[in-house]
Amino acid sequence: MQELDLVIHNSAGLHARPARVLVDLAKQFKSTVHIRAGNKRVSAKSMIAILTLGVGCGQAVQIDINGEDEALAAEALATAVREGLGEGPETHDSVNSALAAARNGNGTHNGHSHAESSIAVADVVPVIGPIRAEPIKAGANIQAIAGAPGIAVGPILRYERARIEINHTFSGVDNELQHLQAALSTAQQQLVALREQVLLRADASEAAIFDVHRDLLADPALLEAVHGAIQAGQAAAVAWQTVINQQAEAIAQLDDPLLAERASDLRDVGERVLRLLAGAEAASLDEHWAKTKQPMIVVAYDLTPSETAAFDPAKVLGFCTAVGGPNAHTAILARALGLPAVISAGPSVLELATGTEVILDGTAGTLLISPAAEAITAAKTAQQREREHKALAMSSAKLPATTVDGQHIEVVANIGGLNEAQQATTLGADGVGLLRTEFLFLERTQAPTEDEQFATYREIAQAMGAAPVIVRTLDIGGDKPLPYLALPTEENPFLGERGIRLCLAHPELLQTQVRAILRAASFGRLRIMFPMIADAGELRAAKAEIERIRAELQLPPIEIGIMIEVPSAALMADLLANEVDFFSIGTNDLTQYTLAMDRTHPTLAAQADGLHPAVLRLIARTVEAAHAAGKWVGVCGELGADPQAVPILVGLGVDELSVSVPAIPTVKAQIRALNFAQCQTSARRALACATAAEVRQGAFDQ
């Protein structure tokens, strides 16, 4: 057995990201790996267990490793912890004092101890407590947060989860374990089916929520704790609910918004299994539907991703929740499924009686209660217009996106895999403007081999036929560590080693990927693109790698482009243009770096608007420089599908818009209705504005 005395010096302790790195690393070894903090010892192969330790910054932990590869594991784990598990170190003082405390066996534990917490059975299903809110009057228009766009008009259904009745009778260890196993495997099957169902209506990243749920169900610490409770004489359902509650509660208390989301995932999946164990029906709208046969707008305290994914679009027009955030899985799913949603409307909406008529506007984030007849007529007209618009866009999806005065814009897709490539062709994409290759590298313990990558790129190239596909080289690092890479610790991940910087620092990654892309290129029309280029030096180094590999493999040249997403690249676009075949502007990153606002910041992200005139000026400069050198420019950030941005981007002279797959038909339809000369006027006016709000208020829509 190997034992390590270590100190966690990550500033936020062992929170989700470093815990994930630790778990992924521990899982690579056959040995058992346990981590102890204070008086609690858990498997280091369990994310949930590590999170529930609540290890804070400067806290000592002991890791013990037992098995055939223990020496190797000990070395790797010690190095990874010392290097900050993908994050920056704290001061040495706190490190040393905690280390001393660890050696004396009295490491401080500033997390939450849950050994003694016991959860009452009645608390298992989240129950909404008594709500004290002012009753809402007819005609009130509640301003909440826009969750997913679209208008819904109809009666509400107050949706509440039914309490699950649990059988406490213990029928013997073997029986209870079998009962648990059966429920777990049914839950796994349900999650696979749910994933498939979501894949039909949305794309892979949304469906991946259910992979997270499946991982949670297989978590060794969770299963170990439940098995232990059963062996101690508890019925499977009681053991399961107690452990889920303890672990979800422990994670939620760590006061980290990202972890809070994991806690709700754990509760969601926990309830699924509990229902199976208790033989309880899932909360369903069917009873209400059978009585009314009327599509409804669901109003709930909160909804889980499972509940949202299971809503039948024929029965549910949209939903409104009292709590929740725009970036929670539920809202992301609603957008992907095209279900209008208003979130965080406050507890007063829970006072509304089932059957109350409302108008839900998921674009404005409002809920109008018992509207007057004229408001209903106006909403229905707007809704009808929206539907016609979508239907028209779908029916004409294959037509080219050419403005009324003859300016042609290529509309291509941002994709993350083969599935989306196939959907993109069906929806009329002129090609793929951005293949995010990260999907091939994440959620694994080793980098994919050249042959694995080759097979995927070839399939995508073949799926797109003669249409071009831009393969972006790996854009990872900083906030997205790969556990199998010894990434440097980062104080400020978005300003650290990411994108092309990381690939140049780890040339074997880039070389393998380039070989795979070059080999696959002859199966279609592949182009290559580098992310995060900040200057010509990086570009030249990356191009040199391509040239060397191409000569070695004796393959024909390939078109090479770069993303313009760092302000320095936009400012140097005139010189860079001479060294590439094309530019693609990544407005997501360009906006965050121009405005100095983290694109994932919980309060700033909404202000990080790509229609800020500063960003538009950088885009204008890039387009001018490219065109002067005879090169074309695309936009592949989210801005490219923003209906207010499309005329401005077209007016600025952008040649290609690369958008998410579901947006392709509507963006093409919008372009076909535009007048290029007017777009140019709009663009000029936008460039003269002082703020993003002024640009948006400028009514540049045509």
Which residues would be at the binding site for ligand PEP (CB under 6 A)? Answer: 434, 436, 475, 565, 586-589, 636-637
Instruction: Tell me which of ligand PEP, Mg ion, none is bound by residue 636, counting a contact when its beta carbon lies within the kind-specific cut-off of 5 to 8 angstroms.
Output: ligand PEP
CB of 531 to Mg ion, least distance (A): 6
CB 577 within 8 A of CB 597: no
The whole-angstrom separation of Cα 135 and Cα 474 is 53
CB of 670 to Mg ion, least distance (A): 24
CA 470 from chain centre, in angstroms, equals 22
- CB count within 10 Å of CB 695 equals 25
Instruction: Tell me which of ligand PEP, Mg ion, none is bound by residue 300, counting a contact when its beta carbon lies within the kind-specific cut-off of 5 to 8 angstroms.
Output: none
Which is nearer to ligand PEP, 254 or 474 (by Cβ)? Answer: 474
Q: Which helix (H) or strand (E) holds 657?
A: strand 656-660
Which is nearer to ligand PEP, 307 or 565 (by Cβ)? Answer: 565
Q: What does residue 248 show for φ and ψ, rounded to 5 degrees?
A: -65, -40
Count the alpha carbons within 13 Å of 138 in the hemisphere toward its beta carbon.
7
Strand duo 151-158 + 357-361: pairing = antiparallel
Give me the amino acid identity at 334: A
The whole-angstrom separation of Cα 530 and Cα 558 is 13
CB of 615 to ligand PEP, least distance (A): 11
The whole-angstrom separation of Cα 436 and Cα 474 is 8
Tell me if 610 contacts Mg ion by CB under 5 A.
no
Written as six digits, the tokens of 181 are 């196993």
Which runs of E-coded beta strand occur in 80-221?
Answer: 141-143, 145-148, 151-158
The whole-angstrom separation of Cα 344 and Cα 335 is 16
Catalytic residue (choose from 329, 503, 612, 689):
329
CA 388 from chain centre, in angstroms, equals 30
Number of residues that bind Mg ion (CB under 5 A): 3
- CA angle 8/222/262 to nearest 5° reads 65
Which is nearer to ligand PEP, 483 or 637 (by Cβ)? Answer: 637
Instruction: Tell me which of ligand PEP, Mg ion, none is bound by residue 637, counting a contact when its beta carbon lies within the kind-specific cut-off of 5 to 8 angstroms.
Output: ligand PEP
Instruction: Tell me which of ligand PEP, Mg ion, none is bound by residue 644, counting a contact when its beta carbon lies within the kind-specific cut-off of 5 to 8 angstroms.
Output: none
Tell me if 565 contacts Mg ion by CB under 5 A.
yes
Which is nearer to Mg ion, 236 or 645 (by Cβ)? Answer: 645
Q: Which 3 state secondary structure label does DSSP give 399? A: coil
Q: Interface with Mg ion by CB under 5 A: which range of 440-448, 481-489, 566-574, 582-590?
A: 582-590
CB 599 within 8 A of CB 605: yes
Which is nearer to Mg ion, 82 or 501 (by Cβ)? Answer: 501
CB of 605 to ligand PEP, least distance (A): 13
Instruction: Tell me which of Mg ion, ligand PEP, none is bound by residue 493, counting a contact when its beta carbon lies within the kind-specific cut-off of 5 to 8 angstroms.
Output: none
CB of 589 to ligand PEP, least distance (A): 3
Instruction: Tell me which of Mg ion, ligand PEP, none is bound by residue 176, counting a contact when its beta carbon lies within the kind-specific cut-off of 5 to 8 angstroms.
Output: none
CB 488 within 8 A of CB 497: yes
Query: Any catalytic annotation for residue 329?
Result: yes
Which is nearer to ligand PEP, 497 or 589 (by Cβ)? Answer: 589
Which is nearer to ligand PEP, 51 or 619 (by Cβ)? Answer: 619
CB-based closest residue to Mg ion:
589
Query: Any catalytic annotation for residue 636?
Result: yes
Residue indicated by tokens 């290097």? 83
The whole-angstrom separation of Cα 248 and Cα 260 is 9
Instruction: Tell me which of Mg ion, ligand PEP, none is bound by residue 348, counting a contact when its beta carbon lies within the kind-specific cut-off of 5 to 8 angstroms.
Output: none
CB of 428 to ligand PEP, least distance (A): 21
Catalytic residue (choose from 57, 320, 503, 636):
636
Residues 189, 192, 197, 198: is their CA dihedral positive or negative?
positive
CB of 565 to Mg ion, least distance (A): 5
Binding mask 529-558 for Mg ion (x = CB under 5 A): ------------------------------
Which residues 585-604 are close enough to bind Mg ion by CB under 5 A? 586, 589
The DSSP code for 296 is E
CB 581 within 8 A of CB 630: no
| Site residues for Mg ion per CB under 5 A | 565, 586, 589
> Which residues are marked as active site?
329, 636
